[in-house]
A and B are shown apart, each in its own frame.
Chain A
Amino acid sequence: MPKSPSPLEEGGGPRRPETGSPDKDSLLKRMRRVDPKQAERYRQRTGE
Chain B
Amino acid sequence: MRLFGIETEYGITRDDVPDMDPVVESMELVRAHLAASFERRWDYAGEDPHEDARGFRVSGLQQDREEDEFARRDAHRPFSFHDMKSDLVLPNGARFYNDHTHPEYSTPECRTLRDLVAHDRAGERIVHRAAQRRNRLLGGAHLRLYKNNTDFHGHSYGCHDNYLVPRSIPFPALAAGLLPFLVSRQVIAGAGKVGIEAQESGWVAGAYQLSQRADFMETELGVDTMHNRPILNTRDEPHADRRKYRRLHLIIGDANMCEYATALKIGTTRLVLDLIERGALPPLEVEQPVVAVKQVSRDPEIKTMIRLKDGRKVSALELQAHYCEIARRELAGSDEESDWLLSEWAETLHALSEDRSRLVGKLDWVTKLWLIETFMGEERIGWDDPWLASLDLEYHNVNPEQGLYLGLEAEGKAWRLTTEDGIEEALRSGPQDTRGGVRGLCVQRFSEQIQSMQWEQIQFRGSIRSQHLNMGDLFDPKEVRRCVDIFQQARSPADALAVWDHRKEIQT
User: Which positions in A face B, CB cutoff 8 Å?
Assistant: 1-3, 6-8, 10-24, 26-28, 30-32, 34-48
Offer 27 A-B interface pairs, CB within 8 angstroms, sorted by A: A2-B340, A2-B343, A2-B344, A7-B114, A8-B336, A8-B337, A11-B419, A14-B416, A17-B361, A17-B414, A19-B360, A23-B411, A27-B404, A28-B375, A30-B402, A30-B404, A39-B152, A39-B386, A39-B393, A43-B151, A44-B11, A45-B22, A45-B101, A45-B102, A46-B200, A48-B225, A48-B251
Contacting residue for A7 out of B9, B263, B336, B387, CB 8 A: B336
A40, B151: Cβ atoms under 8 Å? no
Q: Known contacts A19-B413, A45-B22; is A27 also within 8 Å of B408 by CB?
A: yes
B158, A48: Cβ atoms under 8 Å? yes
A34, B411: Cβ atoms under 8 Å? no
Considering the chains assembled together, what is the distance between the CA atoms of A3 and B386 in angstroms? 41
Residues on A with beta carbons closer than 8 Å to the beta carbon of B391: 31, 34
Considering the chains assembled together, what is the distance between the CA atoms of A39 and B372 in angstroms? 15
B101, A47: Cβ atoms under 8 Å? yes
Q: Per DSSP, are chain A's interface residues mostly helix, strand or loop, or mixed?
A: loop
- Known pairs A46-B63, A46-B156, A48-B226. 14 more at Cβ < 8 A? A7-B337, A8-B340, A15-B412, A22-B408, A22-B411, A34-B394, A41-B13, A42-B151, A42-B152, A44-B13, A44-B22, A44-B155, A46-B199, A48-B158
| Shortest distance from the beta carbon of A39 to any chain B beta carbon, whole Å | 4
Q: How large is the interface on B (under 10, 10 to 19, 20 to 34, 35 or more residues)?
A: 35 or more
Q: Mark B358-381, 1 if CB is under 8 A from A, else 0.
A: 101110000000010011001100
Residue from B337, B390, B392 with most neighbouring chain A CB atoms (10 Å): B390
Considering the chains assembled together, what is the distance between the CA atoms of A10 and B416 in angstroms? 12
Give me the 8 closest cross-chain CB pairs, A-B, nearest first: A47-B157, A17-B361, A39-B389, A38-B390, A36-B387, A44-B151, A48-B225, A6-B340
| Shortest distance from the beta carbon of B9 to any chain A beta carbon, whole Å | 5
B358, A19: Cβ atoms under 8 Å? yes
A12, B419: Cβ atoms under 8 Å? yes
A47, B152: Cβ atoms under 8 Å? no
Residue from A1, A23, A30, A46 with most neighbouring chain B CB atoms (10 Å): A46
Residues on A with beta carbons closer than 8 Å to the beta carbon of B422: 11, 13
Residues on B with beta carbons closer than 8 Å to the beta carbon of A1: 415
Considering the chains assembled together, what is the distance between the CA atoms of A22 and B340 in angstroms? 29
| Shortest distance from the beta carbon of A31 to any chain B beta carbon, whole Å | 5
B166 within 8 A of A: no
Q: What residue of chain A has the Cβ atom nearest to residue B66's Cβ?
A: A46
Give the contacts of B149-189 with A (CB-CB under 8 A): 151-153, 155-158, 160
Residues on A with beta carbons closer than 8 Å to the beta carbon of B101: 44-45, 47
B102, A36: Cβ atoms under 8 Å? no
Q: Known contacts A7-B336, A13-B418, A17-B412; is A48 also within 8 Å of B99 by CB?
A: yes
